[in-house]
């Protein structure tokens, strides 16, 4: 599976897939969580956003 691929049965991550502030957590059971690292200092953002994220005030494209 490629880094941006969505596991079967999971919602697509939307903007989180290409954001520099995303940390992808995968459990041993195959569940994938997208954590927003910018949420640590930006109170407008949730730590674990609901997917798919279609708009985000903290979005910055990854390098």
Q: What does the pLDDT read at residue 1?
A: 43
Mean pLDDT value across residues 17-42:
94
Sequence-ordered strand ranges (E) for the chain? 22-26, 32-36
Which of 42, 1, 48 has the alpha carbon at shortest distance from 23? 48
| Integer Cα distance of 31 and 37 in angstroms | 19
Mean pLDDT value across residues 17-36:
94
Percent of the chain whose predicted confidence (pLDDT) is above 70:
83
């Amino acid at each position: 599976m490629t880094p941006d691929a969505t596991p079967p049965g999971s919602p697509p991550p939307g903007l989180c897939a290409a954001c520099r502030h995303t940390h992808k957590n995968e459990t041993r059971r195959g569940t994938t969580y997208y954590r927003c690292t910018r949420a640590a200092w930006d109170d407008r953002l949730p730590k674990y956003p609901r997917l798919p994220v279609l708009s985000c005030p903290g979005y910055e494209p990854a390098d």
